[in-house]
Structures are given as structure tokens and as C-alpha cells.
Structure 1
């Protein structure tokens, strides 16, 4: 590489820091970077480990006490004791207003004035992120920072010209803090509970590289960064900002990393209305749960268990409550619950994936390159999650002997769909089976339909399923006898079928059974047909069914799981 030369401004930054007790290794050279503000390289080889690179004296670290004392004179008079970052942002604004008169002028003038974080994006650039978590986060963060700015300016002492503290200036200060700060708990060695972001001039000149070994050392007098390994002459010298995925890097710093091992897709799921028992299983004090998908964990156990709880019927909820107290056991509550949970999770992840726009740009600029990396990684993780969910459904159905290790999603989904016929029943199966020809013939004539599609279009699928399950409970074919016995134990009792519930089915019975009996007295004319029987069947349909997507045309189908 060519000879590296530092600019006068960076020389001045080093001289300023060293004049106050700071340190810059003579093997380092800091220069302006077109893509990241500044960059540091090794002029000569740096022998590691633990070679001191940069050090900032405590007197130059921009923290709450300095910011509050500068603006309000007494830190205790600052109204933002519980929000110290607001005081620091206002302090930064004022230092930039002061310009050369600022004691931090050597540092402030080197800070970027424009950023590549999404709050600086144009409308068209932001539209490229539609469907991602970042797209929604931008407006949430903008709103929060605007409200902070209004509060902050309102509480400025009268000696300050408030008109100079514009929103654009405050946004700049917010972004400086998000892109260059260190946690106060690390810089000062204090408790993490009250940690807040602080600025460490000179030390913040190094760019990020994940997993690069570095040492941070805090003393009463300074904060120092040292190398964990030897660094060859000419190589860039990096800091390690921590285990940050591209979403955090893009929002806070304005860049992304290819093949970032810490990338995640965050799923925020609001809690639906739940029974008291279910709420006990999902932290009743919370209104939403947050889960993280990654390449190493595309299907977190906690995420699957959340959906198990959401879809569980009463019996399955009781089982989940019991399993919770037995560590090491599988948390599944049975095939029906597992299929329903995985199916709804598949739909949720699939919907999120479909909402992300993937658009190519012929000659992408830096922002577009970062967005492309971020979006492609999000799409990859979501796709891997869908594959993992499908494999889990494959395993739940005990499909053998084919291996679920294939990445052929179509193969897996087809096998899952085909296997359902051995574990359950749906309208398509009923209408295609010769053994149920008498039942379906009466249904076709009585309801003026010719296929399951007609039934679904008429929005009476649940009612026809109640009639079919009633028929099964009466006729009890040999292959359904074990299932019918289980349904009798679970739902044909006073606890499940109270008078109010049975009464709801009297209208259905009066409307359907007499005319159907006229069409086929063999099936519908038996005395066993009662409102209570249909109520029992209704419980079975409500509690033992799952919605499964037809793998051929994507049509949702309702299956009643009959495997016991």
C-alpha cells in the first residue's frame, strides 16, 4: 500500500489529547476515511499481546457530570439526571456552536457532520427498507429523539440562545453518541445498572471488526485500548464494538458487515388474550415477547414454546403446565399442538419474509450497499427459519425413512402434507373417500355444493365438519375407534358441555338434521343425532383441529387430527 500520511487535523487531535495526559502509540497513524470518518493503521509492526494503542485522560471523556456542569453549572440542577444522554447531546450541540472556542474543538471539528444511519436517508432510500425491523424503528427513534430535543431545549438555561439548538443539530449529536460512544460502566468501571453512553476522544478513532481481540482498561486517570494480537505494518488497527448484528450496526453506526456472525432477525410478538393458565406460562406482566432468529439458531426453543402456549387447547395447556416443572423433558403437548404451533409460526415468519422488498441497484452507493447487505442477511435468516420449521413439522409427524436434512423445502412440505392423511381428516379427504360417499352425497344436495371449495366459499366449513365429526362419533369406524374413545373422555362430559354451550347447537340441529334426514335417513335419521352430540362434535372441531397450508396452491385447509 502507498505511504500513509495523517492530516494536520488528526495530528492536532493527538497533540491535544497528549497535552492532557493522553497517549497515541508512535506505531499508529490516524487518517481521514471517506467511508468511516477516521481510520488507523500500523506504521510499523505492533508486537502483541497487550500493546498499548490509544489512551484518553478522564478529564477529556465527555460524560454526564461534565455536560450537566457546563450547561446547568451544578449537575444536581440538571433535569435529566435519569436521562444522562440528553444532557450529553445538548452539551455536544453547544460545543459545536462554540466552534473554535470549545475546549473540545480539536475533537468536535473531526466529527462527521453527515451520517449514513437510516435517520439521514431520503424517502426513496428508506422505502428500500420497508418490511424490515429497521424501517419501523426509524420513525420510532425519530419520534423519541424529537421529543427529547423539545424537552432539552425547553430546559436550557436562559444564557443559551435556544434558536441555535436546531433539530438538525440535535440529530447530529444523537448520531455522534450512537456511533462513537462507550458504556460508562466500562469506561469508569461502575455498575452496569446505571450505565449510559459516554464519548472517549481519540480512543474512538478505531473502526469496528467483530471478534478482533482488544483490551479495554479503565483507571481513575484514563481509559486505554490495547491490542490483543500483534499487528503487521500497514494493517488497519481495529476496535471491537462487541457482538453486534447488522441491524444494530446500521441503526447506530451506518454500516453493515458481510457474513456477520452476530446477525439476528428480531421478532416482537404481542400476547393475544389468554386464559390465566396460559398467561402464567408467558410472563403475565408482559404484553409482548421478543425472540431472535439467527443462522446458528433459526428456530429457538422459546419461540416454538410461545406458539405452543398460544394455540394449546385446555388439555394441552394443562400438560404444558405440568411439563414446566419437569426439567429436561420435551415441552411438546402432543401432535396436534405441535403442528398447530409450527404452522402458525411458519405463517408468521413467511409473512415477515414476504414483506421485505429485495431490489437490486446497478451502481449502489455506500448506503445502498449497506442496505443490500442488511436485507440479504435478513432474508437468509428468515429463509433458514422457514426450513427449520418445516423440518420440525416433518419430525413431529414421524415421517420415515426419508431424511429431513435436505434443504429442499418443496420436498419437505409435500411430505408433510401427504402424511397428514394418515394422522387426520379434512373436507377434501372426506369428499374423495368412497367410504363417506353417502355422507357427502347428502351434504352436496342439502347445501347445494359440489366440492370442498364450494363449502369454503360459502363459509360453512366448520358447520360441515361438525356434521362429519358427529357422523364419525355415531358410526365409529374401526380405524377411528381409539380416537372416538379419546374424544369421549376429553369432551363428552358435564365440564365441557354445559347447558349454555349445548343450547348454541340446538339451532344448528333444528336447521340441518330434519332436512338431511329426509335426504338420507340411514345416516341422519338415527336417534343418536341430538344437539348434545353436535355440541360434543363442535368441541372436537374447535379443539382438535389445525389449519395447514396446501403445499400445491397455498390454500389454507382445516384438518382434524385423529392420531392419538
Structure 2
């Protein structure tokens, strides 16, 4: 008889009830699962476990002979986790739970328990950062508890508390060099925390006398059931037993599932060691380092970041299928590209911010595309990891597509405040024809291929500034906001020597040659170097170049709301 059968018989002998239509099986690949024989469609309890078989804080208090005062409400499961570590690893530890404890696997599927070589594949990802952030919290609650219980750890605390120590790496190497884990080792405590992460149930389902909403307990037999999203189940305590009810109608041969809750693939992988295809609850982290003063000022402009801000100079957003681009993320990127001359978030900096955000998302897509190319043929864990990386890539790709859609909507709904330079090039034929002689430009696309777009924009902006100097009225309507912005900048700008030196090379290459060759355009009005320095500032304030097409737009100052 195997350990699984031993455990089921142990539970039944101690008063548990397992519906005879449920059969548990175990394989080296998929682990333990429960399959239905016959038709199962009932709201009666399928599995009932008496309270004496539940592993709770109260049982841990009895074992360590302490009261509830030793339990920190911020770490409500520390004591019971230490108790489970003792049950599993302490020699000669008699326990009513022995058949269940024997069945708990030593090698867990979560990345915290992977081999050192397998962990190298995760390094550099947000997944690894989350692991590195969690373990110091576990270390603190473990050491604090040991002191309260006057217990000595088997580890060298001086080494464990070394600043900058990678605890993920430490635990992996400790397991590799210690075939038998001491029950009072940090690695044993991390194992027990992994058991609770993957198997524990909320204590509030047992009774409402909880130390914390996060207090949990182990629920033998029921914790063998695998997870499936949106499965309808109920847990309830009645007649001295913790009962499991499935509200699903199952046919013979179908698996009986539990529902761990709406979990992202990151949560599923870190806590349970698997991921789900097309997980509607999946999300991806986007962590950004930005100037702390910019983040401080964001709230003043209506961008609350209290939930996203993780350090003084960094924020972290979660992208999911319901909100692929959170509004505050889009607003923040608009703020990043806000000029000093702009009062707040407007159309121009929003469009430019989306472009900048898209570039970062594209880097994420490429990063995860490279990660999916790992050789996972010899490792089931790496196969799961590759699936996780691919799901992350897809989420970032969907976010890019959402950004493109948002940008199109902004352009369409604010069309009265934008004018494409491609349209200007088409309408101002005299100007566009002049470029053939000086730049060899015959069509708009040549401006991009010949990499002379900025020079042409400067020339056209100065042409706008001179519109009243031409003998004939220009045969197209110039947007007044471009002319007005030029006049505003010209009246307030302070030109430094460096500005002149920076513009000098371009200016000398163009003038006086262009005035002599095409005087009807470049010989009318003011074409001195100062005008081009002003035009350069106007271009910064008004021009947005769409990255997707490299097409410049003149954008009028216009506040927008998402």
C-alpha cells in the first residue's frame, strides 16, 4: 500500500468521510488528483474532515506549550509553519498526522525549491525579484519567533543576515549541501511556508475567531485537489467537521477540482508551481525607476500613485486583460514628457508618452521572447517556466496593441487640434517643390529616408513666421496656433551663445544659398539664425512624431481627460 492510500485510510479511520465516488490517484508527472466515478451532481459535502485532523495554530500552541500571545498578527502563520517543519523534519516526533505529513513532498514545485541551475533562468525577471523580496520577510518572522520560543537556529544567523545576501540562492545551496534538513533551519521553515502557500485554507472558513484575515490552516485530503479557475466550490464547518462541497456537475472520469481563487500565473507559479493557459486573471508587472520629485508631483496633477509606488524612486504597475494600460500609467508617461512650458497633461505629451511607453513594452516583449527560447526538453519545471514567459510576452503584446488603439482614438477624437506635416507638405506645393532643388526630396517619404525631417520642419516653421511678408497670400490656410506660438517664443526666449553655436552648422549650410536660389520663398521676410533657434523651441513645444509611421504632427495645446 502506498503513502496516498495510507493517508486516505488514516483520515477515514479518524472520522473523515470521503464520498465513495471520489478516487484519488498519484503520478510522478501530475502529482495527486481526484477523479469521479459515476455521475456526481450534489450540493452535499463530498469530503468531511474532523477538526482533530486539521493542523491549526491551536495545535501548534499545544505542541510548543505557548499561548496565542506569541503569535504576531502580521505573521499569523509563523507558529503553525514552524510546527509543520518540526513534524516533517524532527527525528522521533510522534504525531497523529504522521501519514499526512509523510505524504507532503520534500521537493516542492514552486521556484523557491528549484535547483540552483534552474534558478539561473529566472534571474533578471520580476519573478525573481518577488522571490528575493519575500524571503527576507520570512527570515525576519522566523528569527523573531525563534527568539520568542527561546530556540536556537541551526543556521549561522550572522551569515543569514549579511547585507545583500541573496536568500533565494542561499536556500537553494543549503538544500543541495544538506541531505537531511534540521527542523530548526531556515530552509525547513521556507519549505513549510511553501506548503502553506500551496495547501493552506483561510482560517475564517473554519471559524470567525481569527487573529488575522491571513491566518490559515492545513486541511488534509481536500488539499490534494487540484485548482481550476471559476470552479464553484464551498468550504464550511458543520457537526465538528470541515466540509468540502462542489457545485459542479461531473461525469465519470472527470477530475474533481478545488478553486484556490482568482490567481495570476505569477501567483500560481510561486505558490503552487504551475501556470494556466489563457488565464483570464493573469497579469504582468511593469516596474519603472523615475525621478522621486516627479513622482511626488504626480499627485498634484491628479495621478495618485500610493498603491503603485514601491520605493522613493520607483513604481510598479500591474497589467491585466481587464486593464492592459492603467490610466494612471498613461498619465504618468504624459507627465514624464511634459515640458516646462506646459501647465499639465495635454494632447501632445500624452501622445508622446504613449510612444515612450510603447518602446518599453516592446523591450518587454523581446525580453520574454528571448526567455521562451530556453531548452526545456529535459525539465518539466523549465517547460512550465517557458509557458509562463510566453504568457507574459502575450500580455505585453496585448498592452502594445491597446496602446496603439488608445493613440488612434486620441488622434481621432482630437483631430481639430492636430495637423499632419504630411498634409502640409501636400498642400504647400511651392515649399515642397523647393525641397527638390536643395535636398533632392520629391515626395514626403523622402524626408524620412533621407533623414532630413527636422531641418525641413525648421524651414517650414520659419516660413510660417514670415507669412505676412510674402507678396501674395499663401495658397493654403496656416494653423493660427503655430504662428502664435512662434510669436510667443520669440518674445520671451533668451538665446545663449551655445544655442547659436549649435544651430550654426545647419544655418550656414542653408543660407545665404537658399535665399539666392529660391528667393520667392527664402528671400522674403526674416531668415536670420535667430528665427531658427526660435523655430527649434516651437518644434519642441508643438511637434509630435508618431513612432509607428515617423509622421510629424503639429499639436495645439489641449488638455485632455482619460
Q: What secondary structure sits across from 1:52 in the alignment?
A: coil
Does 2:361 match 1:349? yes
Partners of 1:227 and 1:87 in 2: CA distance: 31
Q: What secondary structure sits across from 2:373 in the alignment?
A: coil
Deviation at 1:509, TM superposition (A): 3.7
Asked whether the equivalents of residues 81 and 189 of structure 2 are also in contact (C-alpha less than 8 Å), the reply is yes
Deviation at 1:207, TM superposition (A): 0.9
Residues 180 and 269 (structure 1), Cα distance of their counterparts in 2 relative to 1, 3 Å cut: same
Asked whether the equivalents of residues 464 and 482 of structure 2 are also in contact (C-alpha less than 8 Å), the reply is no
2:233 counterpart (214, 220, 236): 214
Residues 359 and 183 (structure 1), Cα distance of their counterparts in 2 relative to 1, 3 Å cut: same
Partners of 1:177 and 1:355 in 2: CA distance: 32
Residues 231 and 268 (structure 1), Cα distance of their counterparts in 2 relative to 1, 3 Å cut: same
Q: What secondary structure sits across from 1:226 in the alignment?
A: strand
Does 2:541 match 1:543? yes
2:422: which partner in 1?
422
Residues 518 and 181 (structure 1), Cα distance of their counterparts in 2 relative to 1, 3 Å cut: same
* Structure 1 unpaired stretches of 5+: 1-6, 321-332, 400-418, 442-450, 552-556
- Shifted more, 225-234 versus 186-195: the winner is 186-195
1:84: which partner in 2?
76
Residues 283 and 129 (structure 1), Cα distance of their counterparts in 2 relative to 1, 3 Å cut: same
Does 2:390 match 1:376? yes
Q: What secondary structure sits across from 2:243 in the alignment?
A: strand
Does 2:302 match 1:281? yes
Partners of 1:151 and 1:462 in 2: CA distance: 63
Partners of 2:551 and 2:438 in 1: CA distance: 19
Partners of 1:384 and 1:537 in 2: CA distance: 38
Deviation at 1:76, TM superposition (A): 0.7
- Shifted more, 432-441 versus 540-549: the winner is 432-441
- Shifted more, 121-130 versus 210-219: the winner is 121-130
Residues 435 and 380 (structure 1), Cα distance of their counterparts in 2 relative to 1, 3 Å cut: same
Residues 293 and 268 (structure 1), Cα distance of their counterparts in 2 relative to 1, 3 Å cut: same
1:508: which partner in 2?
499
Partners of 1:423 and 1:190 in 2: CA distance: 70
Partners of 1:479 and 1:60 in 2: CA distance: 89
Residues 182 and 467 (structure 1), Cα distance of their counterparts in 2 relative to 1, 3 Å cut: farther
- Shifted more, 156-165 versus 80-89: the winner is 156-165
Residues 276 and 161 (structure 1), Cα distance of their counterparts in 2 relative to 1, 3 Å cut: closer
Residues 530 and 257 (structure 1), Cα distance of their counterparts in 2 relative to 1, 3 Å cut: closer
2:22: which partner in 1?
28
Asked whether the equivalents of residues 278 and 309 of structure 1 are also in contact (C-alpha less than 8 Å), the reply is no
1:486: which partner in 2?
481
- Shifted more, 289-298 versus 99-108: the winner is 289-298
Asked whether the equivalents of residues 466 and 526 of structure 2 are also in contact (C-alpha less than 8 Å), the reply is no
1:320-371 Cα offsets, whole Å, 9 max, x none, are: 5xxxxxxxxxxxx43x344313211211110101112222647453213312
Deviation at 1:19, TM superposition (A): 5.6
1:115-156 Cα offsets, whole Å, 9 max, x none, are: 222122334433444665324333333454445545454554
Q: How does 1:517-532 map to 2 (within 5 A)?
A: 523=522, 529=528
2:264: which partner in 1?
245
Partners of 1:540 and 1:471 in 2: CA distance: 13
Partners of 1:375 and 1:486 in 2: CA distance: 48
Does 2:89 match 1:97? yes
Does 2:319 match 1:293? yes
Residues 253 and 529 (structure 1), Cα distance of their counterparts in 2 relative to 1, 3 Å cut: same
Partners of 1:154 and 1:463 in 2: CA distance: 71
Partners of 1:151 and 1:338 in 2: CA distance: 49
Residues 277 and 144 (structure 1), Cα distance of their counterparts in 2 relative to 1, 3 Å cut: closer
2:280 counterpart (261, 284, 291): 261
Residues 355 and 29 (structure 1), Cα distance of their counterparts in 2 relative to 1, 3 Å cut: same
Normalized against structure 1, the TM-score is what?
0.72
- Shifted more, 63-72 versus 381-390: the winner is 63-72
1:447-494 Cα offsets, whole Å, 9 max, x none, are: xxxx989989xxxx98996676445433479588643x314555755x
Partners of 1:371 and 1:130 in 2: CA distance: 12
* Structure 2 unpaired stretches of 5+: 156-181, 414-418, 441-446, 558-562
Deviation at 1:52, TM superposition (A): 0.8
May I ask how many residue pairs the two structures share in their alignment?
Answer: 496
Partners of 1:69 and 1:310 in 2: CA distance: 57
2:150: which partner in 1?
157
Deviation at 1:289, TM superposition (A): 4.8
Residues 60 and 509 (structure 1), Cα distance of their counterparts in 2 relative to 1, 3 Å cut: same
- Shifted more, 156-165 versus 97-106: the winner is 156-165
1:304: which partner in 2?
330
Partners of 2:552 and 2:449 in 1: CA distance: 15
Asked whether the equivalents of residues 154 and 185 of structure 2 are also in contact (C-alpha less than 8 Å), the reply is no
- Shifted more, 378-387 versus 293-302: the winner is 293-302
Asked whether the equivalents of residues 372 and 387 of structure 2 are also in contact (C-alpha less than 8 Å), the reply is no
Normalized against structure 2, the TM-score is what?
0.73
Q: What secondary structure sits across from 2:46 in the alignment?
A: strand
2:434: which partner in 1?
435
Asked whether the equivalents of residues 197 and 271 of structure 2 are also in contact (C-alpha less than 8 Å), the reply is yes
1:287-330 Cα offsets, whole Å, 9 max, x none, are: 35544434565445554344344434578754x5xxxxxxxxxx
Q: What secondary structure sits across from 1:370 in the alignment?
A: helix
Partners of 1:69 and 1:423 in 2: CA distance: 81
Asked whether the equivalents of residues 213 and 227 of structure 1 are also in contact (C-alpha less than 8 Å), the reply is yes
Does 2:252 match 1:233? yes
Deviation at 1:258, TM superposition (A): 2.7
